[in-house]
Amino acid sequence: MGYGEDAEALACRYEAVAFEEVHGYLLPWLPSLPGRVADIGAGSGRDAAALAARGYAVVAVEPAPELRRIGQRLHADAAIAWGDVALPALTGLRGSFDLVLLSAVWMHLDEQERVEAMQRVAELTAPGGCVAMSLRHGPVPAGRRIFAVSAAETVTLAERFGLTVAHRGEEPDQLGRADVRWSTLVFRAQHRTVGGRT
């Protein structure tokens, strides 16, 4: 995805902004304790560490080895289980989760990958659990694989796999980029899904 080359600089930028600043929209939707959380595309581990500090059992998956190593180093004291599985298949990720967080990762998937990934995410979300994601809108940095993905498309796809929209918002960029904005979405899992049918 183009994150390995400048992983240290990116991690510094991510860590400089608190979880609560980036994910204020998500706070009302955090599951009750105890709960299992999957942070998909965990990056520097900022979000995983914040959720672990709140008392959740957190699995953080990050396919970029450079970022994953930084996250493991920066948050060595946090109760986080790290893995290197990747979207869309998330092979090796097991069990069900009360919250699945996909922060700034969904737009790295092409259209077919998004279908496969949404089905997999729905399968991993416990009934009554939530899926939270943020979608980036703005210029694509050089060397990054980013697709234009709208909130409307994402809601429609989520509904296909039994996820009902509970929150939909728009946020400015927390890293101060005036030409970048974010859509924030929270979905509630109603039923187990098989092949897009509830």
pTM of the prediction?
0.88
Of residues 125 and 139, more confidence is placed in 125
Distances (CA, A) of 69 to 45, 80, 101, 106, 152: 10, 13, 20, 22, 35
Of residues 196 and 141, more confidence is placed in 141
pLDDT at residue 38, rounded to an integer:
98
Q: Is the dihedral of CA 6, 80, 122, 175 positive or negative?
A: negative
pLDDT at residue 141, rounded to an integer:
73
What six digits make up the tokens of 40?
A: 């998909």
pLDDT digits (tens, 9 = 90+) for 80-125: 999 998 999 999 899 999 999 999 999 999 999 999 999 999 999 9
pLDDT at residue 138, rounded to an integer:
84
Give 198's pLDDT tier (boundaries 50, 70, 90).
very low
Domains and their CATH numbers in the chain: 7-126+133-189 (3.40.50.150)
Contact present, 67 and 11 (Cβ < 8 Å): yes
Q: How many CA atoms lie within 13 Å of 90's alpha carbon, on the beta-carbon side?
A: 27
* Cα gap 98→38, rounded to integer Å: 8
